[in-house]
Amino acid sequence: MFLDIAFAPRAPFFDAGLKAHIITRYTDVAAIVASPKVTVPRIELDVAVRLNARFPDRFSALSKWAEGILIHLDGPKHVAGRDRAKGMVRHAWDSLSAAKLKARAERLLDDQGAAGKIDGTRLAADYIDGPWSDLLLLSLEDARHIIDGSEGCLTEWSQIVALNKYQERNAKTAALMDRVLAKIRLQPCPWSTEGFLDIDAPVMLFILGLANATVKHTITNMLYTLAADQPEQDRLRRDPSRISAFVEEVLRMYGAVRFRDRIAGPDGLEDYAILPGERIRLYFESAGRDPDVYPDPNRFAPERYLDTTRPAPILSFGGGSHLCVGRLLARLQMAALISALVERYTLIFDERNPVSFPDIASLGFKKLPLRLAPR
């Protein structure tokens, strides 16, 4: 079955097709992700192309600038951007209590469950959608900063994406979006230094989907895990203090981000015979199944996190300077949903034919037919 893939960690090896060193063992992934000798590869900005397709009248000029442009995710602005992203998460944390999230989960379960059948993917998407919109609205501060005249323009760019996405639903955002766009038309962007853009990358990643798709997929995987294990549902019902251990085990085995890439810096990585400039693929997923760190690694066992001798921390949120800024929020969202679910329902597979998400980088489902039986 889809989620039953077992990974056998092995020594680093070079994938000639991918032209990347594949790193799978926990200790290696943990060491390299935290190493100052690697950097995150640049990404190509395809946002412009997408925006242009949707709003040809508005974005064609921007699109022409941005098409094919590379963004440096580890540029000098990284730390500042990360702080801003953290600020956004902190606001969300303050406004989204566990109780509010749980109430939201209960409403959704009751609404969607009324039809008998639910799609786990849709439930997960709807569940995080509210908090996610709230989060984006918190970034309005940044948008105001743009309107009031900021010198850079890629902060503006990321804000455009955010505002664009939510403008249909929120009048306040829509009005702000128009003002941002007006400003941008007036003030074309003169950037492009050294062939790549240095932007508030974490803020941009945050807005483009790290906080959205990752939580959605991980929650869908969690629903699958729950539906597959009725006795575990009973245990969670009887003992809610088990929930956080359950969440941690879902993240260890079924975190949505299967791998992330790095590029070796000018010194290379001697210990691994990796040369400067070579690509490295860090498999968080396989590190989470390393038998040297997690005994019987392919067995789903929340007890690991209840034992006094806890296993090594999971790498599903990455590590080092790019460690996920939303990890606590993600855990909170997951726990609140489980709590609402097991209290009121039994979760069962509707048909055993879930459709996996067609992307090798993400572990998740496109379709997960489930049923909620009221208790």
Pairing of strands 197-198, 38-39: unpaired
Q: Residue with CB nearest ligand HEM?
A: 326
Residues forming beta bridges with residue 260, ordered by sequence position: 282
Contact 120, 368 (CB under 8 A): yes
Min dist CB 260 to ligand HEM, Å, is: 4
- Is the CB of 58 or the CB of 82 nearer to ligand HEM? 82
Contact pattern from residue 142 through residue 181 relative to ligand HEM, giving x for each residue in contact according to CB under 6 A and a dash for the rest? ----------------------------------------
The correct pick among 25, 82, 242, 304 for binding ligand HEM (CB under 6 A) is: 82
Min dist CB 52 to ligand HEM, Å, is: 25
58 is an interface residue for ligand HEM by CB under 6 A? no
118 is an interface residue for ligand HEM by CB under 6 A? no
Of 255, 173, 202, which Cα lies nearest the Cα of 72? 202
Binding window for ligand HEM (CB under 6 A); candidates: 173-181, 190-198, 204-212, 270-278: 204-212
Min dist CB 265 to ligand HEM, Å, is: 15
Contact pattern from residue 208 through residue 227 relative to ligand HEM, giving x for each residue in contact according to CB under 6 A and a dash for the rest? --xx--xx--x---------
Tokens read off for 303? 């007890």
CB atoms within 10 A of CB 193: 10
Q: Which residue has the tokens 């893939």?
A: 5
- Is the CB of 184 or the CB of 251 nearer to ligand HEM? 251
329 is an interface residue for ligand HEM by CB under 6 A? yes
- Is the CB of 59 or the CB of 206 nearer to ligand HEM? 206
Residue 6 amino acid letter = A
101 is an interface residue for ligand HEM by CB under 6 A? no
Residue 224 amino acid letter = Y
Min dist CB 310 to ligand HEM, Å, is: 19
Min dist CB 336 to ligand HEM, Å, is: 13
Contact pattern from residue 284 through residue 303 relative to ligand HEM, giving x for each residue in contact according to CB under 6 A and a dash for the rest? x-------------------
The correct pick among 75, 120, 255, 364 for binding ligand HEM (CB under 6 A) is: 255
- Is the CB of 58 or the CB of 262 nearer to ligand HEM? 262
User: For residue 122, with 0-12 CB atoms within 10 Å meaning exposed, 13-18 middle and 19 or more buried, which class applies?
Assistant: middle
260 is an interface residue for ligand HEM by CB under 6 A? yes
Contact 256, 221 (CB under 8 A): yes
Residue 323 amino acid letter = L
Cα separation, 70 vs 46, in Å, equals 9
Contacts of 177 (CB under 8 A, 6+ apart): 160, 163, 164, 167
40 is an interface residue for ligand HEM by CB under 6 A? yes
Cα separation, 29 vs 318, in Å, equals 9
- Is the CB of 182 or the CB of 361 nearer to ligand HEM? 361
Cα separation, 181 vs 153, in Å, equals 12
Min dist CB 199 to ligand HEM, Å, is: 12
Binding window for ligand HEM (CB under 6 A); candidates: 113-121, 137-145, 251-259, 359-367: 251-259
Of 266, 352, 293, 346, which Cα lies nearest the Cα of 29? 293
Tokens read off for 99? 């109780």
- Is the CB of 101 or the CB of 330 nearer to ligand HEM? 330
Cα separation, 159 vs 142, in Å, equals 8
Q: Where are the alpha helices (DSSP H) in the chain?
A: 26-33, 47-54, 56-66, 78-95, 98-113, 120-138, 140-147, 154-166, 171-186, 201-205, 211-227, 230-238, 243-254, 284-287, 327-344
Min dist CB 373 to ligand HEM, Å, is: 27
345 is an interface residue for ligand HEM by CB under 6 A? no
Cα separation, 40 vs 37, in Å, equals 11
The correct pick among 75, 120, 288, 318 for binding ligand HEM (CB under 6 A) is: 318
| Interface with ligand HEM (CB under 6 A) | 40, 82, 85, 89, 135, 202, 205-206, 210-211, 214-215, 218, 255-257, 260, 284, 316-318, 322, 324-326, 329-330
